[in-house]
């Protein structure tokens, strides 16, 4: 297919694989956008209430959640020595989803929530559960027998499969994960050990999802988690906003339009960063500025937004390869649902080379002893683009924002379960990237 695209600066940068900051020309005032969306504050509250209903059961199934009362949450950390080294004006914080329990990545938010939502509906419809019950009730044999009749299925580059697999197995569902060619071997092995069926595809993420979707259509006992369109996944991610707000308040960090929050979110198909953007805009309005970050060879969401073609265009259509070491972000075609949903809310996007991810991964480990996978380091690059590029400076000037008043949050998205030998490989690559390009 020959695609005619307007020859604009962002399209040229995308085609050439040049790292850049894109500021969204379709950004509108949050107040004017939210009322027109299909999801509201009530949906966020309902999702959060569901997480609370499940909390006692979650604490029972996963003892590591006990201290958090059964909720899946990560810390908001100061960037300490790393912030000193990077030396940005303002404050730099790290949202440690790299350390989220159960799944070790941001997928613990969306993936687990979606499976809980499904389990609740099944159990309530079968008369085994009422919303007011203690959900520990779902451990009874009758509930497990019910769940065993269903297979939860998903297409994944690794982490979503990992999160869905863990919770499905714990609740008693059958589970089948369709992994793309980017998925790391250790993620597949870990799941197989839990009794999850892992199907390996030679193709990329978009095709793995298509295969999973096709298999599910032919079989009513398969519950397909649709990473490209699921509202429940999206809401599971979005509830992060409530907890981030509470963390900022407890740390005494002021957020208003003069003291804005800049949040940098690594982006694959778009559900995680899109959901979090929606949640944060709902709670903070225009005082929060959300930027997605993507690899230069897989900038699918940026491409969809820049061209307005959303899921109708893939990175291959402009000659890119979708080859990146950031396996969590190796997506060639974005979610159409998310792109349209956040089209007037998202402040912008940044694209990066893999080398930068490795350099940041190394710096993070060296100075903060934090371990992340390459995808998860992407957010740390955000402030650099905002503060030092021509586009970024113009953006801050236009919004009359003083750099020293900004609280930057780099959302670290995965890494907890990366095996030590893999981590050492990442760090070696990071060390050589630092040698070539400086710290
Ligand atoms: C999946 C993933 C993301 C991005 O989430 P999407 O919903 O695919 O946009 C970011 N980082 C890591 C580590 C991931 O696994």
Label residue 2 by pLDDT band (50, 70, 90).
low
Task: Give the per-residue pLDDT at 66.
Answer: 84
**Average of per-residue pLDDT values in the chain:** 96
377 lines ligand 1 (CB under 6 A): no
CA angle centred on 232, ends 77 and 251, rounded to 5°:
20
Buried b (16+ CB within 10 A) or exposed e, 37-58: bebeeebbeebbebbebbbbbb
Q: Which of 65-74, 114-123, 246-255, 355-364 has the lowest mean pLDDT?
A: 65-74
Whether the pLDDT of residue 118 is over 70: the answer is yes
Atom 11 (ligand 1) nearest CA: 413
Cα–Cα distances (Å) from 3 to 58, 146, 149, 158, 340, in that order, read: 48, 48, 45, 31, 20
Q: Rounded to two decimals, what is the model's pTM? A: 0.97
Nearest CA-CA partner of 118 in 234, 210, 232: 232
Whether the pLDDT of residue 1 is over 80: the answer is no
Whether the pLDDT of residue 29 is over 90: the answer is yes
- 268 CA to middle of ligand 1, Å? 5
Task: Give the per-residue pLDDT at 4.
Answer: 81
Query: Counting atoms of ligand 1 from 1, which one is nearest the CA of 273?
Result: 9
Provide mean pLDDT across the span 122-132. 98
pLDDT tens for 140-154 read 999 999 999 999 999
| Ligand 1 binding pocket mutation candidate from 375, 381, 417 (most atoms within 8 A of CB) | 375
Contact 167, 238 (CB under 8 A): no
Which H/E stretch holds residue 22? Answer: strand 21-23
With tokens 């960037």, the residue in question is: 79
- Output the six-digit token pair for 329: 């972000």
Whether the pLDDT of residue 205 is over 80: the answer is yes
- 134 CA to middle of ligand 1, Å? 32
With tokens 């778009």, the residue in question is: 270
Query: Counting atoms of ligand 1 from 1, which one is nearest the CA of 266?
Result: 10
Task: Give the per-residue pLDDT at 182.
Answer: 83
- Spatial separation of the C-alpha atoms in residues 232 and 230, rounded to whole Å: 5
Atom 2 (ligand 1) nearest CA: 328
pLDDT tens for 207-226 read 899 999 999 999 999 999 99
């Amino acid at each position: 297919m020959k695609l005619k695209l307007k020859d604009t600066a962002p399209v040229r940068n995308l085609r050439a694989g040049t790292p850049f900051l894109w500021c969204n020309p379709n950004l509108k005032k949050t107040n004017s956008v939210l009322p027109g969306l299909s999801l509201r504050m009530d949906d966020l509250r309902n999702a959060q209430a569901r997480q609370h209903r499940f909390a006692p059961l979650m604490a029972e199934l996963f003892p590591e959640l006990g201290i958090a009362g059964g909720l899946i949450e990560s810390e908001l950390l100061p960037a300490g020595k790393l912030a000193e080294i990077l030396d940005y004006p303002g404050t730099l914080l790290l949202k440690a989803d790299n350390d989220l329990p159960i799944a070790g990545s941001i997928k613990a938010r969306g993936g687990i929530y979606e499976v809980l939502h499904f389990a609740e509906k099944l159990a309530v419809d079968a008369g085994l559960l009422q919303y007011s019950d203690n959900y520990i009730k779902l451990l009874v044999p009758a509930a497990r027998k019910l769940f065993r009749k269903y297979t939860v299925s998903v297409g994944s580059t690794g982490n979503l499969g990992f999160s869905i697999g863990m919770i499905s197995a714990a609740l008693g569902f059958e589970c089948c994960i369709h992994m793309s060619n980017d998925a790391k071997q250790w993620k597949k092995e870990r799941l197989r050990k839990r009794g999850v069926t892992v199907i390996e595809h030679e193709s990329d993420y978009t095709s793995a999802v298509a295969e999973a979707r096709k298999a599910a259509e032919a079989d009513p006992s398969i519950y397909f988690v649709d990473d490209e369109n699921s509202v429940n996944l999206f809401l599971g991610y979005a509830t992060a906003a409530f907890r981030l707000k509470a963390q900022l308040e407890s740390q005494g960090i002021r957020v208003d339009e003069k003291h804005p929050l800049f949040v940098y979110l690594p982006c694959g198909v778009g559900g995680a960063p899109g959901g979090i953007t929606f949640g944060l805009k709902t709670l903070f309005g225009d005082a929060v500025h959300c930027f997605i970050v993507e690899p230069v060879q897989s900038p699918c969401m940026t491409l969809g937004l820049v061209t307005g073609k959303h899921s109708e265009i893939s990175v291959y259509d402009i000659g890119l390869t979708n080859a990146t070491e950031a396996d969590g972000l190796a997506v060639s075609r974005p979610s159409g649902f998310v792109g349209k949903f956040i089209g007037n809310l998202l402040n912008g996007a940044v694209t990066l080379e893999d080398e930068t991810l490795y350099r940041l991964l190394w710096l993070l480990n060296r100075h903060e002893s934090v371990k992340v996978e390459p995808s998860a380091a992407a957010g740390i690059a955000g402030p650099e683009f905002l503060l030092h590029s021509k586009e970024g400076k113009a953006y801050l000037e236009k919004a009359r924002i003083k750099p020293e008043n900004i609280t930057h949050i780099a959302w670290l998205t995965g890494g907890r379960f990366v095996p030590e030998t893999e981590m050492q490989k990442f760090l070696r690559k990071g060390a050589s990237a630092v040698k070539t390009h400086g710290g």
